[in-house]
Structure 1
Amino acid sequence: MSAEKKYAVSGLLALWLLTVVAVSCGKKNDDPEPEPGGPTPYNWVKPVHFPDPVYDFSKNPLTNEGIRLGMFLFYDGIMSRTNEIGCGTCHQQQAAFTHHGHELSHGVDDLIGTRNSLAVQNMAWSPRFFWDGGVHDLDFSPLNAIENPVELDESVPSIIEKLKAGPRPGAKMPVDYPQLFREAFGTEEITTGRTMRALSQFMLTMVSATSKYDFYLMGDQSALNTQEKEGMLLFEKNCSSCHAGVLLTDHSFRNNGLVPMRINDRGHSEITGDKADRYKFKVPSLRNVGVTLPYMHDGRYHSLEEVLSHYSDSVRLFMKSGSEAVETLDPLLANPEKPGIPLTKSEQQAIIAFLHTLTDEIFLKDPKLADPGIGNAL
């Protein structure tokens, strides 16, 4: 039986599927009034068990045409200097839009980045983006990868000119971007703002809320087995201070006891300039964590077993390492009598069983989010 049908749909889920949260009809001043037969509003649905989003939809009303344009921009290599690497290269759907199996992201000319690719999911609820929290607005987040010399290594003006030129000779799939912009924004004029907003529109549709755990939260007690429920209780006791709520993150930045590697990445302090923020990184959502390996900002752990072993055993060694990073270790892990999160092997296995219930097969296989045949996966 398919994942879509495996679990009984509770009354709450049915309500979610039937309830449409209409997005505000507010407009950007630089967009012309839509022509008859122009962009059609997209009804963005908030899962009933989720909090209200933090993204301001009034500044970027979603339309079917805007989302379609954003999908092409997300996957198209035209966004990079070499015309070969797109956002979807390092953010692959089957891995919750991470770069599955790669410790660090790959960019143009097969250059290696400095951090592991974060999942692109539930972006409407995120107040800050990237491991260091350097961006506060989803609409600006693509610029980070575009201008990074080891990622897309391109300039926005160059991208705009390429998009204006229309179908690119030799492209994997010829795309008439001026026409797509007309359909999405009522004009063929391609601007930075419209390009970024189209990308946001597509990313805002990447909502993961139909895992086994979600079905359980919405009333289906049979969605989790005995071990998974045991793991859920252990998780709530030991892990939910940071991986909190239905989103499985408190959106904070914390030092979780990783000895700095060759790349001495100081994380959040590179943005704030505050020594107290050194070696602190964003607490990622654990939704779909079973398919987003490797883990941590530098991809050092390749299994959930390694991650839990770190919290159970390695934090204690970290505290004795003499590293300057010890100074900002999160207080929740810094108890000298019980450093880290002491767990027995059976407790670890129960937590891992629970973590696998966060995998959302419907989201991972949603054809509306898939590459339309334009991208390159590495």
Structure 2
Amino acid sequence: MKKIGVMLILCAAIWACKKGTDLIEDNEVFVGFVQPSNFPEPAYDFTRNPITKEGFELGRKLFYEPRLSRNNSIACGSCHIQSAAFTHHGHDVSHGIDDRLGTRNPMPIMNMAWHKEFFWDGGAYHLDLAPINAIHSEVEMDETLPNVLIKLRARPEYRALFKKAFGTDEITDEYFLKALSQFMLLATSANSKYDKVMRAEDGATFTTAEKNGYLLFQKQCASCHSEPLFTDLSYRNNGIRPNRSDDHGRATVTANDKDMYKFKVPSLRNLSYTAPYTHDGRYLSVSRMLDHYRFDVSDLPTLDPIFKRADGTFGIPMTDAEKSDLLAFLKTLEDPTFLSNSLLSEPFGSEFIVN
């Protein structure tokens, strides 16, 4: 039965990841990371962590492993849910161990190979280091990396998996983090209608509304949400009033007052699945998010100049008809195959631990 389960995973992945995001070939040979033809070169240095089938499978098991938390109840996959494009759907901010509340809305794990810094404030400068933040956070996993490794070493199955992935049964922080990166690096979303139109694939074309929305997007939005990632990876203040937690954003990392209330520009891919929106999850719909730019941009000291109009007002001018067209275009960024790709799902036979 185990062999049949693996075969099903691989066969499903052939369909789910074809063309833009091939992971395996028709002969069921794992080929790892493949750069989509309409994407730029990735930022991640794969020469320092080559993706293998064994490394990826270990990373997938670790991603869904609740032993990464203090009381063995919270896994990475608890707050990064595949059906929500690996975000924490239904919560404005993260809910971690003992149902503790964080202060930020978890960002999606998607197209990580093209990022150099991670989180809303860019506090992690390498993907391999990003999981440490969640493990050590008091409101997320409330554990330590040394304790996690002790728990994994006590499990014979993990020694065997590390041996297969890295040639040694020694469970080290380096191998642990590299395995998690191998899983996250293959979470590539590049098979939306937009991608098919850009690649002239399957005869895909925009409707009139989608085309009009795309033209408006290029005029009003693309300077921050640049194609094809739909983020320029910068940090900007988009005029959202500070909340009660008074999150200083990028300035928390740089200690530079010029970075106050600046947050990383999020990708617009799979927006329908990643609600709520903004760093603190204050907006529940894409429509309401667009209305922020139309009506609610605040004149803060570090407000990005792009939101300052010549007439002294702030925001992005947009009629109701233009908003409707823009919403139609943003729908073309949805990638259902990414959300249903069984290669990225929790592996069969995973344990649920209560103590």
TM-score (norm 1): 0.84
Matched, 1:241 2:223: yes
Q: 1:54 aligns with which of 43, 52, 57?
A: 43
How far does residue 223 in structure 1 lie from its aligned partner after superposition?
3.5
In structure 2, the residue matched to 1:213 is 194
In structure 1, the residue matched to 2:327 is 352
Matched, 1:87 2:76: yes
In structure 1, the residue matched to 2:341 is 366
Quickly say closer, same or farther: Cα 1:189–1:270, change in 2 above 3 A.
same
In structure 2, the residue matched to 1:144 is 133
In structure 2, the residue matched to 1:261 is 243
Contact 1:79–1:159 at 8 Å: present in 2 too? Answer: yes
Contact 2:290–2:323 at 8 Å: present in 1 too? Answer: yes
Q: 1:111 aligns with which of 97, 100, 112?
A: 100
Matched, 1:335 2:320: no
Amino acid at match of 1:81: R
Question: Which residues of 2 match residues 126-275 of structure 1 at below 5 A?
Answer: 126-166=115-155, 176-220=157-201, 222-275=204-257
Write the distance in 1 (CA, Å) between the matches of 2:36 and 2:285.
Answer: 30
Contact 2:97–2:142 at 8 Å: present in 1 too? Answer: yes
Deviation per residue, 1:214-259 (Å, 9 max, x gap): 0010114643211111111111111000000211010000000010
State the SS of the aligned residue for 1:141.
helix
CA RMSD in angstroms comes to 2.0
State the SS of the aligned residue for 1:372.
coil
Amino acid at match of 2:264: K
Deviation per residue, 1:317-353 (Å, 9 max, x gap): x22xxxxxx1000000022524110111111111111
TM-score (norm 2): 0.89
Q: How many residues align?
A: 330
Deviation per residue, 1:18-74 (Å, 9 max, x gap): 999xxxxxxxxxxxxxxxxxxx97432110110000000000011100000000100
How far does residue 290 in structure 1 lie from its aligned partner after superposition?
1.5
Write the distance in 1 (CA, Å) between the matches of 2:186 and 2:351.
Answer: 19
Write the distance in 2 (CA, Å) between the matches of 1:375 and 1:283.
Answer: 36
Amino acid at match of 2:262: K
How far does residue 15 in structure 1 lie from its aligned partner after superposition?
8.7
How far does residue 100 in structure 1 lie from its aligned partner after superposition?
1.0
Question: Which residues of 2 match residues 9-28 of structure 1 at below 5 A?
Answer: none
State the SS of the aligned residue for 1:327.
coil
Contact 2:193–2:204 at 8 Å: present in 1 too? Answer: no
Contact 1:295–1:307 at 8 Å: present in 2 too? Answer: yes
Write the distance in 2 (CA, Å) between the matches of 1:208 and 1:305.
Answer: 23
Contact 2:21–2:188 at 8 Å: present in 1 too? Answer: no
How far does residue 103 in structure 1 lie from its aligned partner after superposition?
0.4
How far does residue 136 in structure 1 lie from its aligned partner after superposition?
1.1
Write the distance in 2 (CA, Å) between the matches of 1:147 and 1:278.
Answer: 25
Amino acid at match of 1:154: E
Deviation per residue, 1:275-309 (Å, 9 max, x gap): 00000000011111111000000000000110000
Contact 1:75–1:375 at 8 Å: present in 2 too? Answer: no
Runs of 5+ consecutive residues of structure 1 not aligned to the other structure: 1-12, 21-39, 168-175, 320-325
Write the distance in 2 (CA, Å) between the matches of 1:63 and 1:292.
Answer: 29
% identity of equivalent residues: 49
How far does residue 14 in structure 1 lie from its aligned partner after superposition?
5.3
Contact 2:24–2:31 at 8 Å: present in 1 too? Answer: no
How far does residue 96 in structure 1 lie from its aligned partner after superposition?
0.6
State the SS of the aligned residue for 1:309.
helix
Q: 1:312 aligns with which of 288, 294, 317?
A: 294
Quickly say closer, same or farther: Cα 1:196–1:74, change in 2 above 3 A.
same
In structure 1, the residue matched to 2:7 is none
Amino acid at match of 1:328: T
Runs of 5+ consecutive residues of structure 2 not aligned to the other structure: 1-17
In structure 2, the residue matched to 1:101 is 90
Deviation per residue, 1:165-216 (Å, 9 max, x gap): 016xxxxxxxx11111111111111000000000000001101000000001
